[in-house]
């Protein structure tokens, strides 16, 4: 990998529930664990060139995709209730909340942060 310029920043996303993982999601959990491993490896390999790499690990985010999955269930109201019961804050994250973390991590203010899975899940992984 050729990183041409100093102050390069890479950001990936993974799952905050790792470990231990989520029931019936073996392949998904494996790929997300691999993303965290890749994040750490890239950060270690390129830190001397000024490259930073972190991984944002969001909890459940209120997105059109989530709403489609909820509406596809036989009982959408029950599905919504089930999803919300998993959220210790009683609500989903917003896309803006996740974006604000990504902007911070890409900024000079976080220049000392690299190689980390940064969990933003409203306490879901506690």
Q: Which residues are known to be catalytic?
A: 28
Phi, psi of 37 (to 5 degrees): -60, -40
Residues 6+ apart with CB under 8 A from 40: 115
Nearest to 120 by CA among 10, 13, 9, 8: 13
């Amino acid at each position: 990998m050729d990183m041409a310029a100093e102050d390069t920043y890479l950001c990936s996303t993974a799952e905050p529930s790792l470990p231990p993982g989520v029931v019936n999601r073996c392949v998904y959990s494996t790929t997300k664990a691999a993303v965290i491993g890749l994040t750490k490896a890239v950060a270690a390999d390129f830190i001397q060139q000024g490259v930073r790499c972190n991984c944002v690990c969001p909890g459940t985010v209120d997105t059109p995709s989530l709403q489609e999955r909820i509406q596809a269930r036989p009982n959408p109201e029950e599905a919504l209730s089930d999803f919300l019961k998993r959220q210790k804050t009683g609500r989903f994250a917003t896309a803006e909340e996740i974006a604000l973390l990504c902007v911070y991590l890409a900024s000079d203010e976080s220049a000392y942060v690299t190689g980390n899975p940064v969990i933003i899940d409203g306490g879901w992984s506690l």
